[in-house]
Amino acid sequence: MATNQYNKRFITKIRKEYAIVLPVMLVLIILFNNLAIDFYYKVIYWNRFRSAAAEVADYAREHHSFPNHPEVTVKKLAPGTKSYTYYGYNFREIPDPAHEPGVFSRLFLRDHLHNRRVKEYVTTVALPEGLFEIRVAKIELNEPGGPEREAVLFAVACSLVLFLLLNWGFFQFNLRRVSYNLWRPFYKNLRRVNSYHIRSAKPLQLVETNIREFELFNHAILDFTNKTQAAYNQLREFTENTAHELQTPLSILLAKVELILKKNDLDAANRKELLEIKKTIVRLSGIQKGLNLLSRIRSIQYGGNVEKKTMLITGVIHDSVETYEELIEYKGITLETLEDDPEPVATNEELVRILVDNLLRNAVQHNHTDGKIRIAVQPRGFEIANTGAVPESPGDNLFARYHTRSQDNGRLGLGLAIVEAICDTLDFSCQYYYRDNLHCIRISWER
Amino acid sequence: MKILLVEDEKLLSDSIRSALVQEGFSVDTALSFREARDKLVDKIYDVVVLDLNLPGGLGFDLFGYIRDMESHPGVLIISVRDSLDDKLRGLNLGADDYLVKPFHLDELTARIRSIIRRRYPTDADELVFYNLSYDMTSGQVKVNGTEMHLTHSQSQILYYLLINKNRTVSKESLSDYVLKDDIDMVDSFDYIYTHIKNLRQKLRKEGSEVSIVTVYGMGYSLKKMDGN
């Protein structure tokens, strides 16, 4: 099974790493062990000597005499001597324990016949009687319960803690690595699924993984998206073809009606009826043309290769305004154009022209007589605002709302769908809002 | 003038044919690619009206035969394809004009006439009707040699009336010709009416011998003024 192979390979890798990491850990622990013993003598043991000396000094201050203790020797120093403190090993003649069994019994570390290794702490203390030297000495005792044993226990405990910490850290690290490695193909594919668009020409491609569960899931997703995309393509092609196919019967209808209209023996009522039919045919054909354009934009988007060139939006807007100049004048609309330092944008000129044309067209068509159109060009976008019918609900979603409106000839919904499709294709953002009695549509190329 | 109408849809072909015959053309029809090819090889035409989607081949492929003809006929493409690519391809292959279906029959005849005019130029590139002249290249309109200042729409209305002079042009075809896709943006009849009113004023002011006559219930017609 693929999973097992993957796991085996990965686990072998971790095992190999353990073979290196464990000796390194051991060396570290040995070094640390030494450090711990050193620390024990230099800090903990030293601290005991220091407190013993301090106790002696306190006793002397209270009782004006020094306690009699075999480990403590006191010496009066000459006046004017500087105070000092030292701590270390020394070799000194110590009375044989055989002669004084009560004090130092069972001694067995001998360096010389009578010299014993002692640990000494020497410090000076200023008392009212003068400056004294206090010397605390302890014979090294290699016996259970002595400082050696304590030091070893201390070091072992410290090492153990370190060992556990290191192991825990390494374990955590490996755990994370395992989970990262396990989930990596998943996240990779998740990103691909997220960026996948049904309108793109390429089918969804997923990274193959050795993990059986993910592979099963990938297959399910691929199966699903491929089917959906196939259905979408079918529908898209069908719409495209239908849009074209429908123009032929419409042409026939139009031609027939016009032929009848050319006959002179028609009475006014019949002529009027026929004119209505003709108008309807023209309207239908207009809707068809809109649908054609829409499907063409979707095909461009589908093809994925939108030709782009750097251009200024102002030129396109000027051209469009020129096209509708007479209509604007005819309707008595005031046109206001504001330009705020527009920046060139790399985009598809044909689509931008259609976009601007559609927006301006809407602004003119759905305006009332003596209305107003304001075109504001900004550095990274533009806005077309116009007066018009007051929206029934204050909602800002023009795209959803106008679709349900019946009195416009179906052209506005289509026009907006075209605007939406172009914005989709060119990665523009498109916002609608109604403010100060103006319908505003803002297009910007900063997502 | 002989026209070859290449259109596979029988019903449409019949209608176009009768409209063109009414206009005084002699029309041959071809319903398939093969038929069109055979007729192009055998006969001589002044204009070929060509549909692009044909049984047996694409209209584009007929251009080879059209170019081989000695009469060098003008070509008007009629197609349901409205993409810029198709239009450019047709025009690059040597078509004179491109008309997207569905179209008005008036528009078709107007385009055919303008192709013929271009093929057989009579008076330079000018349309002349009494003392009114229209320069086809610059779009200038002159009355007795003095230029008239017209808006784009007015000049288009006048052009359309001029190529259909003495005939009645329906309001619909006129508004369709002038406004094209913008037809539902305004009340098109009112729009045409307003412009025609202004045009009449301008023509009268310049002392034109022709005027735009309203044919009740039918449309408009450009005619020589009665009386004076």
Query: Is A248 in contact with B80 (Cβ distance < 8 A)?
Result: yes
Kindly state the average pLDDT of the residues A112-138.
76
**pLDDT at A238 (0 to 100):** 83
Q: What is the DSSP letter of B46?
A: S
Angle at A289 between CA A288 and CA A292, to 5 degrees: 90
Q: What's the pLDDT score for residue B110?
A: 81
CB spacing of B186 vs A331 below 8 angstroms: yes
Given this model, what pLDDT does residue B48 score? 93
Chain A residue with minimum CA distance to B100:
A247
Give dist(CA A18, CA A421) in Å, integer.
57
Top-confidence residue, A91 or A190: A190
User: Coil, strand, or helix at residue A343?
Assistant: coil
Find chain A residues with C-beta within 8 A of B22's C-beta: 262
Write the DSSP string, A376-392: EEETTEEEEEE--SPPS
- Between residues A88 and A256, which one has the greater pLDDT? A256
The CA angle A220-A222-A225, to the nearest 5 degrees, is 105
- pLDDT band of residue B12 (cuts 50, 70, 90) is very high
Q: Write out the two tokens for A148.
A: 């050696």
- By the CB < 8 Å criterion, does B167 face chain A? no
Q: Residue B80's closest CA among A288, A299, A257?
A: A288
Nearest by CB to B172, from A248, A278, A409: name it.
A278
> Phi, psi (5° rounding) for residue A434?
-115, 115
Whole-number pLDDT of residue B11: 92
The residue among A325, A326, A386, A408 with the most chain B CBs within 10 A of its CB, best to mutate, is: A326
Residues of A in contact with B183 (CB under 8 A): 282, 286
Find which of A264, A330, A361 to mutate to test the B interface (most B CBs within 10 Å of its CB).
Answer: A330
> Distance between CA B33 and CA A252 in Å, rounded?
20
Of A247, A262, A326, the CB nearest to B102: A247
Q: Which domains does chain B have, with CATH numbers?
A: 2-119 (3.40.50.2300), 126-224 (1.10.10.10)
Band (pLDDT 50/70/90 cuts) for residue A5 is low
Give the nearest partner residue to A258 out of B80, B105, B186, using CB atoms: B105
Q: Dig out the tokens for B184 from the structure.
A: 């539902």
Contacts of A322 in chain B (CB under 8 A): none
Q: What is the pLDDT of residues A132-179, one digit of tens each?
A: 888 888 766 554 455 677 788 888 898 899 989 998 998 899 889 888
Which H/E stretch holds residue A148? helix A147-195
Q: Which of B83, B102, B151 lies at the smallest CB-CB distance from A250?
A: B102
Q: Quick one: pLDDT at residue A79? A: 81
Does the CB of B87 have a partner CB in chain A at under 8 Å? no
φ, ψ at B209 (rounded to 5°): -85, -10
Q: Which of A372-381, A398-407, B162-171, B199-208 has the lowest mean pLDDT?
A: A398-407
CA distance A29 to A36: 10
Chain B window 23-62: which residues touch A at a Cβ cutoff of 8 Å? none
* More confident of the two residues B167 and A101: B167
Measure CB to CB from residue B80 to each of A244, A293, A409 and give the nearest one: A244
B122-131 b/e (C-beta count within 10 Å ≥ 16 → b): eeeebbebee
**Subunit contact B151:A253, Cβ cutoff 8 A:** no
Characterize the bridge pairing of strands A309-311 and B141-143: unpaired
Whether residue A385 contacts residue A442, with contact meaning beta carbons closer than 8 Å, is answered with: no
Determine, for residues B181 and A286 on separate chains, whether the beta-carbon distance falls below 8 Å. yes
Nearest-Cα residue of chain A relative to residue B182: A361
| Cβ of residue B101 closer than 8 Å to a chain A Cβ | yes
| Residues in CB range of A354: below 8 A, 6 or more apart | A293, A297, A418, A422
Q: Contact A306/A348 with Cβ under 8 angstroms?
A: yes
Question: What SS3 state is found at B75?
Answer: strand
pLDDT of residue B208: 86
Amino acid identity of residue A86, one-letter, is Y
CB contact under 8 A, A275 and B172: yes
**Is B102 near chain A, with CB under 8 Å?**
yes
pLDDT digit string (tens) for A196-228?
877 777 788 888 887 788 889 889 999 999 999
Q: What is the ipTM of this complex?
A: 0.76
Q: Does A135 contact chain B (CB < 8 Å)?
A: no
pLDDT at A396: 53
State the Cα–Cα distance between residues A381 and B22, nearest whole angstrom.
54
Question: Would you place residue A109 in the very low, low, confident or very high pLDDT band (cuts 50, 70, 90)?
Answer: very low
Ordered DSSP codes for B101-166: SS--HHHHHHHHHHHHHHHS-SSTTEEEETTEEEETTT--EEETTEEE---HHHHHHHHHHHHTTT
| Higher per-residue pLDDT: B49 or B123 | B49
What pLDDT is attached to residue A399?
Answer: 63
- pLDDT of A4 reads 55
Model confidence at B109: pLDDT above 50: yes
- What's the pLDDT score for residue A146? 57
**Residues A282-304: tens digit of each pLDDT:** 888 888 888 878 877 877 776 66
Question: Looking at the predicted structure, is the pLDDT value of residue B173 above 80?
Answer: no
Domains of chain A (ranges; CATH) run 2-165 (no CATH), 212-302 (1.10.287), 307-444 (3.30.565.10)
Q: Is B23 exposed, middle or buried (0-12, 13-18, 19+ CB in 10 A)?
A: buried
What's the confidence (pLDDT) of residue A132? 86
* DSSP code at position B219: E
Residues A186, A191, A192, A197, Cα dihedral to 10°? 140
- Indicate if the alpha-carbon torsion angle A193, A194, A195, A201 is positive or negative: positive
Contact flag A247-B217 (C-beta cutoff 8 Å): no
Chain B CB contacts of A289 below 8 Å? 82, 100, 181
Average pLDDT along chain A: 80
Tokens of B118: 């271009």
Contact status of A259 with chain B (Cβ, < 8 Å): yes
Of B63, B61, A63, nearest in space to A74 by CA: A63
Contact yes or no for A354/A418 (Cβ under 8 A):
yes
| Reported confidence tier of residue A281, pLDDT bands at 50, 70, 90 | confident
